[in-house]
Chains A and B, each alone.
Chain A
Amino acid sequence: MANYSTNELRSGIKVMLDGEPCSILDNEFVKPGKGQAFNRVKLRNLNSGRVWERTFKSGESLEGADVMDRTMEYLYTDGEFWYFMEPDTFEQYQADEKAVGDTHLWLKEQERCEVTLYNDSPLSVAPPNFVELEITETDPGLKGDTAQGGSKPATLSTGAVVKVPLFLSQGEIIRVDTRTGEYQGRASKS
């Protein structure tokens, strides 16, 4: 992998730090007019998600991390691993529970996801911002109650539980914002 000088570090560049793959969030150049120059670098540890702020002497170099973001299609899970495919090459990748995390609540087969590869194996998986999923379990719908507020929990086909308006019932398809877990509306019928 290429090495990066502290002066080249920009948001989005992936480097190794203390043996961990990290993504640069911010890089502030700090230099007294007559003294040592430093770079205050903010980075996210891609393994733990933790954000670090580390100070380096300017001009030091960091090893690049073999980390890439790829758009892949989610195929299926066997309970232990989740399988993804690169649509161009049909190459398949298996992601473990640590990489998938809570994202499994939004994974629908054939949906496109962002898979971050580290040394060619999935490090993390990000769902699309919006997914359409079927309600598999909820209290019966209340006819006519479309205007009033009020909500109830609904379990979706993936196991996610979201709050939905009272008028929705089992079997309906809804659109959810995966970043907030909020109900967005009924999906258009296909």
Chain B
Amino acid sequence: MNWQPSADLPMLRARAALLDSVREFFAARHVLEVETPLLCSAGVTDPAIEPLIVERGSSLHSPHYLQTSPEYAMKRLLAAGSGPIYQLTKAFRDGEAGVRHNPEFTLLEWYRPDHDYHQLMREVAELVCSCLGEKPVQYITYRDLFLAELGLDPLTASLADLRLRAQQELDLGSLDGDKDLWLDLLMSHLIEPRLAARGLCFVYDYPASQAALSNIVEKDGQLLGQRFELYVDGLELANGYSELTDPAEQRRRFQADNTRRRDTGFDEKPVDERLLAALEAGMPQCSGVALGFDRLLMLLTGSEDIRQVLAFDWARI
């Protein structure tokens, strides 16, 4: 029986020290640490994320979902007037396992009322540099990044152009899908590797179809999500938004997600009515971000495999 941990002792110490630095960072800025439940009665509708489900137990009146992120609960705290909050917590995503993924992982998530996503990006950069040491920081729009790296405009290129470009450089068999699939493929297979050794690279202003829960605005005739992703030396580390606060629009996005889930052969997920009620009551304008804590530790310790930074990886639980 292999009972030993996957991380070695120096790694466990590095993890503890990194948790301390993160807590110090937020304490100095008067951001409140909170804890919210890991189990939720409503899952996420996000078509790209599958939750793990807890089926049985005398305390459960229905199956409950292990959270895929603490986003909805934290937004309810914001609506209740919490002010700036952060959380270090476990999140669970079914089927995500690899050198950069573990189905159970640690997220650092925080929200800043009255910050827009540009202000939040700067704070994310400060946090990351306070943990990893100074590194170059670059801010580039999703559109400019595609133009610079691939010579393709992601907002105006046709599905056929995107597919052709991907097929020229990669062996894809019969892979097919909508425009977002091709954008995700180009981003993850061709662009991401080119961000290696470039320090912090914030990519922002995503196509509206990839806005997730960010505010959508019109800019130069294009609809853009006020969303950003942070890549550090090519590793995707954080995802943030100027948060959507309109309950009617939130309900529409949940429904659109579920339509997409149904069309792609996944089951629909119940909508989180408590979140919608909180938005109805009024959530302050704010920005929020989720950062992969295990990946931050990977960057700090130069680890190539997430299993090296976990006390017990998925195969050892």
Where the two chains meet, the residues of A that have a C-beta atom closer than 8 Å to any C-beta of B are 7, 17-18, 27-38, 40, 52-59
Contact = CB atoms under 8 A, between A and B. Distances in A.
Contacts of A32: 184, 187-188, 229, 236
Contacts of B181: 36, 57
Interface in B284-306: 290
Contact of B188 (A30, A52, A59): A30
A55 B184 contact: no
Contacts of A28: 98-99
Q: Count chain B CB atoms within 10 A of each CB in A37, A53, A59 and give the residue with the most.
A: A37
Q: Is the interface of A mostly helix, strand, loop or mixed?
A: strand
Nearest to A40: B189
A112 to B, nearest CB: 31
Return the 5 tightest CB-CB contacts between A and B, nearest first. A29-B98, A35-B184, A36-B184, A33-B239, A54-B171
B101 interface: yes
A114 B96 CA distance: 36
Which among A30, A35, A38, A53 has the greatest number of chain B C-beta atoms within 10 A?
A: A35
A35 B48 contact: yes
Contact of A36 (B97, B101, B173, B177): B177
Interface string B165-194: 000001111010100110111011100000
A166 B185 CA distance: 59
A29 B239 contact: no
Contacts of A59: 95
A17 to B, nearest CB: 8
B175 A34 contact: no
Interface in B45-89: 46, 48
Interface in B88-138: 95-101
A18 B173 CA distance: 8
A56 B180 CA distance: 15
A30 B95 contact: no
B95 A56 contact: no
Contacts of B99: 28-29
23 contacts: A18-B173, A27-B98, A28-B99, A29-B97, A29-B98, A30-B189, A32-B229, A33-B229, A34-B212, A34-B227, A35-B184, A36-B48, A36-B181, A37-B96, A38-B184, A40-B189, A54-B172, A55-B171, A55-B173, A55-B185, A57-B177, A58-B95, A59-B95
Nearest to B94: A7
Given A30-B189, A40-B189, A56 B96 contact: no
A32 B230 CA distance: 11
B222 interface: no
Given A35-B184, A55-B171, A29 B177 contact: no
B239 A34 contact: yes
B210 interface: yes
A33 B170 CA distance: 21
Contacts of A18: 173
User: Counting chain B CB atoms within 10 Å of each CB, which of A17, A27, A31, A34 scores highest?
Assistant: A34
Given A28-B98, A35-B48, A55 B189 contact: yes
A36 B189 contact: no
Interface in B232-271: 236, 239
A28 B170 CA distance: 15
Contacts of A52: 171
A53 B177 CA distance: 20
B239 A36 contact: no
Given A52-B171, A55-B171, A7 B97 contact: yes
